[in-house]
Structure 1
Amino acid sequence: MPAEFQTLKLHIQNNVALLTLNNPEKANAMTAAFWTELPQALAHIDQTPEARVVVLSGEGKHFTSGIDLQMLMGMKQSFDKFSCPARAREFLRLDILRLQEAFTAIERCRKPVIAAIHGACIGGGVDMVTACDMRYCTDDAFFVVKEIDLGMVADVGTLQRLPKIIPDGIAREMVYTGRKVSGQEAVRVGLANNSFADKEALMEGVMNIARNIAEKSPLSIRGTKEMLLYTREHSVDEGLNYIATWNAAMLFSNDIQEGLMAQMQKRTPKFED
């Protein structure tokens, strides 16, 4: 288990990893510590066999207000300390790549990550949830690609992932205008799978889905996530070739034997972690 987090809470119970943004006094703003702690937490979950699925949620009134503006100003001050413009830009590029990696860690985690979103999901929050496997929200949740109003181009994942989740025109409208997209609209356009009346109902619904996933073969779930990510960036033929190679190695596992026996015996399968 990693050292105690400043910005997150992590609790694993009944094969579900509950990962909670825990900076409610600042609406779960993404401070400097967050960008280090999130990939650490996900790496720990990835390497913990009993954690089969992740639920990502937020403490307090909002899911997240996005990147902490004080941190953003700190990046600007660090940039300004360089006397050489080229070295300053090299430093900034590497820092942006480091922030990108924090959300790419969600995709690299072999376990499915489900975002449970209530209240505000602003700026970096949209970057983060677009890296998740599934998104659920409350009716009063709202999503805002805030970067355009700050005079910047979103740079940690929204522009790369959002157009692969929702229709291209809707994605462009969101990133060009910075308008609020409500929870119910998010469902209509495909940004969220479903919306719930309030946070309590949201967490109950998401935990039911998480428990359902946790009952499946962990090996098969991890392989399925791998295939979906690969298919997103490759042709159908390439994807078919990859799954053939994958299953040549993975098909005849203990899990498939247990699954077949459970079907024949009309019982619930019990898969090892």
Structure 2
Amino acid sequence: MKSLQIHKNTDAVAELELIGPGRGNAMGPDFWKELPGAIAELESDQSLRAVIIRGSGEHFSYGLDLPAMASEMGAMLGDGAPGRCQIIDKAVRMHQGFAAIAASHLPMIAAIDGWCIGAGIELIAACDIRVATARARFALREIKVGIVSDLGGIQRLPHLVGEGWARQIALTGEDFDAEQAQRIGLITRIDPNAKHMLEAAYSLASRIAANPPLVVAGVKRTMNERIEAEVAAGNRAAATRNALLLQSEDFAEAMRAFMEKREPKFVGR
């Protein structure tokens, strides 16, 4: 795989590592193609009881790799109604990876160091438990690039942090630190550095792995049953909205501003 690596350092616990190739483990076309298969590979290992998901290097993930996705999305945007249908279909396919994390019988622990932006937050929201380092930073910035978050984040976040905080995170697109993430319930613990965080994640995974696996899977799926039905419907609605919003002047301005490293000027068209 080009974007993910699986490491198995103990009998019962594996790591799924985000390795790019985009800067800051940004999620490009390879990531979206490979993630469902990576989860299926982990699930096929009968000895596994839990998975830790982490980023390589200094950051968890910068989120969607906009430059890598630009050519594919650009072709769709220039094709009128058929292109809009392709955008919806593409979004639905991208949903499959995070849905697989949530639906897996294996508990997933996100271990977050450095930046966790956009689709990065949507990934960790699909996990069961989240731990982080003191230097971790978070942001759901889709609103700042002219689109609706459409990978399950705005459906899952209210169940994690409450409706008020979820709306503030989604509507402002503002950054927040590990202390705030713990205060609102997005993460359950803060460690001083990546080494200590990974040790804590393994300890947590091992404690989960000591429980009966069929019951662990049953608890996870029972807790997720109502939420995931809501996520699927919300993702489809968001994808349909984005098929229109991606044609807007504000989205084009957001992309220009991103490439030119300046603040966008939105006009509501």
- For normalisation by structure 2, the TM-score amounts to 0.81
Q: Which has the higher contact order (CA 8 A, sep 6+)?
A: 2
Whether 1:9 and 2:15 are equivalent positions in the alignment is no
Per-residue deviation, 1:77 = 1.8
Larger radius of gyration: 1
Against the structure 1 CA distance between its residues 232 and 89, is the aligned structure 2 distance closer, same or farther, given a 3 Å change threshold? closer
Aligned partner of 2:245 in structure 1 is none
1:73 to 59, 70, 73: 70
Per-residue deviation, 1:75 = 3.2
* 8 Å Cα contact 1:24/1:61 also seen in 2: no
Whether 1:61 and 2:58 are equivalent positions in the alignment is yes
Per-residue deviation, 1:233 = 6.5
Counterparts of 2:112 and 2:185 in 1: how far apart (Å)?
14
The worse-fitting range, judged by mean Cα deviation, of 35-44 and 20-29 is 20-29
Instruction: Give 3-state SS (helix, strand or coil) of 2:161's partner.
Output: coil
Aligned partner of 2:95 in structure 1 is 100
Identity among equivalent pairs (%) = 34
Against the structure 1 CA distance between its residues 24 and 198, is the aligned structure 2 distance closer, same or farther, given a 3 Å change threshold? farther
Per-residue deviation, 1:232 = 4.1
Per-residue deviation, 1:65 = 0.3
Instruction: Give 3-state SS (helix, strand or coil) of 2:71's partner.
Output: helix
- For normalisation by structure 1, the TM-score amounts to 0.80
How many residue pairs get aligned? The number is 228
Task: Point out where structure 2 has 5 or more consecutive residues left out of the alignment.
Answer: 230-269
1:122-201 equivalences under 5 Å are 122-201=117-196
Whether 1:39 and 2:36 are equivalent positions in the alignment is yes
Aligned partner of 1:212 in structure 2 is 207
Task: Point out where structure 1 has 5 or more consecutive residues left out of the alignment.
Answer: 235-273
Q: In structure 2, what residue type is equivalent to 1:145?
A: L
Counterparts of 1:115 and 1:24 in 2: how far apart (Å)?
20
Per-residue deviation, 1:23 = 2.2
Whether 1:28 and 2:25 are equivalent positions in the alignment is yes
Counterparts of 2:67 and 2:173 in 1: how far apart (Å)?
21
Counterparts of 1:30 and 1:9 in 2: how far apart (Å)?
14
Counterparts of 2:216 and 2:187 in 1: how far apart (Å)?
21
CA deviation profile, 1:50-69 (whole Å, cap 9, x unmatched)? 11100000110100000101
* 8 Å Cα contact 2:25/2:56 also seen in 1: yes
2:106 to 107, 111, 114: 111
Instruction: Give 3-state SS (helix, strand or coil) of 1:165's partner.
Output: helix
Q: In structure 2, what residue type is equivalent to 1:40?
A: G
Per-residue deviation, 1:81 = 4.7
CA deviation profile, 1:150-175 (whole Å, cap 9, x unmatched)? 11111111111111111211111111
The worse-fitting range, judged by mean Cα deviation, of 111-120 and 18-27 is 18-27
